[in-house]
Structure 1
Amino acid sequence: MDQRTWWLVYTRSRQEKQLMRHLRVAGLPHYAPQIANRRRSPAGRIRITYQPLFSNYVFLCGEEEARYKAVCTGCVQSVAPIEDVAHFVSDLRQIQALIDMNVPLTIEDRIQPGQQVRVKSGVFAGYEGTVLQRTQETRLLVAVRFMERGVSVKLDDCQLEVLSKKTAEASE
């Protein structure tokens, strides 16, 4: 992921993997995070499938020609440029780091308004995000602000420190 032009590609229903195959063959840089989904079959075997983290979205890196090639695949419903590339790339790097840790993640479809925090201890030390309060658990939301989507991970309150408004604004 770099600072070149990035596009948010909204795919037709369930066409993310097909679009990624087309983009890979065309040699176009793209990114669509996926998480492993483990299920037990009726016969008792564990089946692992990979589910797109952001259903119907693929991120494409390239200029207008790359966007045009993606649209010509027939898998694309719409395309929008990503304006704040630096924040976008930073958000995706944090999410990829969480995926790489193989911790249980919960897909969050919408960012809920909440407190901005930084994790001060544990394996997630240094991560910043928004706290989501759920029944009897606290979750840290790491979001792609541009899309208002993200993933959350369960943490204890004692691991978090509240960011002041000035600190939160400076990190944005």
Structure 2
Amino acid sequence: MSTTNNPASPKAWYVVYTRSRAEKKVLADLAAQNIEYFLPLQKKLRRWKDRKKWVKMPLIPSYCFVHITRKEYDHVLQTDNVVCFITFEGKAAIVPDQQIDALKKMMKQTDFEVSVTTDNFKPGKKVEIIAGPLVGVQGELVKFKSKNRFIIRIEQIDTVFSVEVPAEKITALP
């Protein structure tokens, strides 16, 4: 991940929509421009006729997160393979820092597979994970196929990240 330091203007996380299968190319271009980015990647076993191979695939196809100032906005938009910013009510949607931090933490854990869905889960109890690799992450607890699923909602892109968490590793928030 690339970082830049410019204390003059506040940075925020935005979501960029890329051309199909161009997420890694966009990241290389953003890195060359010293723009901070985050692309959640997940290892998947891909099969071809003659072989199998583990590859890192974007968790959310065609989406990339950028941490930029307003001044860098146009530079990102002019980057090759960037289609547009995801907007909400006519403005580029800002994703809160804590959601990005929780997603980064979730992507680092290897105990359970992280899945992405646009299913409309009913809001559940607010919980915090108290043990394991995701300790400290806050989100919602929902039942899905009779199992406890811990979810983080990123409403700006209408997406839910979920992971199965044993009941003894979570606690309810007030």
TM over 0.5, shorter chain? yes
Distance in 1, Cα, partners of 2:133 & 2:37:
28
Distance in 2, Cα, partners of 1:77 & 1:137:
38
Q: Give unpaired runs (5+ residues) of structure 2.
A: none
Q: Give unpaired runs (5+ residues) of structure 1.
A: 165-172
- State the match for 1:109 in structure 2: 118
Identity of aligned residues (%): 18
Amino acid at match of 1:154: E
1:49 to 40, 52, 55: 55
Are 1:142 and 1:151, in contact at CA under 8 Å, matched by a contact in 2? yes
- What SS class does the counterpart of residue 156 from structure 2 fall into? coil
Pairing of 1:50-129 with structure 2 (within 5 A): 50-79=56-85, 80=87, 81-83=92-94, 88-103=96-111, 104-110=113-119, 112-115=121-124, 116-129=126-139
- State the match for 1:32 in structure 2: 39
Are 2:47 and 2:53, in contact at CA under 8 Å, matched by a contact in 1? yes
Question: What TM-score, normalized by structure 2, do the two folds share?
Answer: 0.74
- What SS class does the counterpart of residue 77 from structure 1 fall into? strand
Higher helix share: 1
- State the match for 2:164 in structure 1: 154
- What SS class does the counterpart of residue 59 from structure 1 fall into? strand
Distance in 2, Cα, partners of 1:135 & 1:5:
36
- What SS class does the counterpart of residue 113 from structure 1 fall into? coil
Query: Residues 120 and 64 from structure 1, CA distance in 2 versus in 1: closer, same or farther, beyond 3 angstroms?
Result: closer
Query: Residues 38 and 119 from structure 1, CA distance in 2 versus in 1: closer, same or farther, beyond 3 angstroms?
Result: same
Are 2:128 and 2:171, in contact at CA under 8 Å, matched by a contact in 1? yes
* CA RMSD, 1 decimal: 2.7
Count of residue correspondences: 160
Question: What TM-score, normalized by structure 1, do the two folds share?
Answer: 0.75
Distance in 2, Cα, partners of 1:98 & 1:11:
23
